[in-house]
Amino acid sequence: MNIALVTCESLTQYAAPTVEDEDSLLTRYLREQGHQVAPRVWTNPAVDWAGYDKVVVKSPWDYFDRVDDFYAWLDRMDATGIELLNPSSIIRWNADKKYLCDLEQAGIPIVPTHWLPKGSAVVIDELFDKLGSDQLVVKPAVSGGAKNTFTLTRLETAERLPQLTELVQHEDFLVQPFQPQIQTEGEWSLIYLGGQFSHCVLKTPKSGDFRVQHYLGGGIEPREAPAHLRQAADRIIDQFAQGCLYARVDGVDADGQFLLMELELIEPFLYLASSEGALARYEQALQQ
């Protein structure tokens, strides 16, 4: 196959010396299997997307900085009949974390979430009480890479409220109770390829942090998926990731219940190097 891997102009800020660049790893493997593979920047107007058998949305890790341009690019792909992996309809839905409302309405347990629409007033004291926590996590509704994501305690309210108020003037935000399991156990990621479970990792933050991304010092440990987490993730994939080449289900184990943090269907790091056979499973899913 002739495959385009959709990426962005620079991946440097998401690199870590302890983790191999996944785009390079995947490209090398697929070429070894006889495929033609080329990284292509989604913002480059000169790319002839129609010249590829498969257009895989792999690492457009700047889309949340220019989301209107990204949506316009998806519109152009649709208008010219170019099919994306994952499908453009799912990418649009998954780009805004309000998709969590759909999962919650379907009975999927999610981390409790309060939404702060763009331009709304921020009454942070009420949020501590409403969410039943003395520590909150704040993040944009359209975001990635832990951009503008931070924790907030009651004692920090006076200091941090002006920052949050300013941020909410420009875009929608969400607020969730901090999940202590992130620091005591870690965050689970279950990866699916072609709709089938592939592998699982447990991600842990560096000491004193809550962000688990490896380029922020977080750790990655391959683990066997606990049965109850696997069952919960399977249900999510069956209901919300039909027709997807890849999917990543992120969450915490809260006293035996899987609480979904995010369902990643756009451009997640898939930890392909952490599981023997994952690259082969990726190629197999590509050929479905």
- The CATH code that applies to domain 2-94 is 3.40.50
Q: Tell me: pLDDT of 263 over 60.
A: yes
At 217, list the tokens: 């010092």
CA distance 110 to 98: 12
Closest C-alpha among 32, 76, 24, 82 to residue 56: 82
Which CATH number is correct for 98-108+185-287, 2.30.40.10, 3.30.470.20, 3.30.70.980, 3.40.50.720?
3.30.470.20
Q: By the 8 A CB rule, do 249 and 103 touch?
A: no
Q: What is the mean pLDDT of residues 20-40?
A: 95
Burial environment of residue 151 by CB neighbours within 10 A (0 to 12, 13 to 18, 19 or more): middle
Min mean pLDDT across 128-132, 215-219, 245-249 is at: 215-219
Provide the pairing of β-strand 114-116 with 150-153.
unpaired
Domain boundaries, the chain: 2-94, 98-108+185-287, 114-177
CA distances from 98 to 12, 171, 175 (A): 29, 13, 12
* pLDDT of 236 strictly over 90: yes
Identify residue 24 by its one-letter amino acid code: S
Counting Cα atoms < 13 Å in the Cβ hemisphere of 127 gives 25
Give the mean pLDDT of 35-52.
97
Residue pLDDT, tens place only, 196-213: 999 999 998 756 555 555
Mean of pLDDT over the chain = 91
User: What percentage of the chain reaches a pLDDT higher than 90?
Assistant: 75
Q: What pLDDT is stored for residue 213 in this prediction?
A: 57
Look at residue 18 in the predicted model and tell me its pLDDT: 63
Q: What whole-number distance in Å separates Cα of residue 197 and Cα of residue 203?
A: 18
CATH number for domain 114-177, candidates 3.30.1490, 1.10.3860, 1.10.10, 3.30.70: 3.30.1490
Q: How many residues does the chain have?
A: 288
Peptide bond before residue 44 is cis, with ω within 30 degrees of 0: no
Q: 146, 232, 239, 147: which is closest to 188 by C-alpha?
A: 232
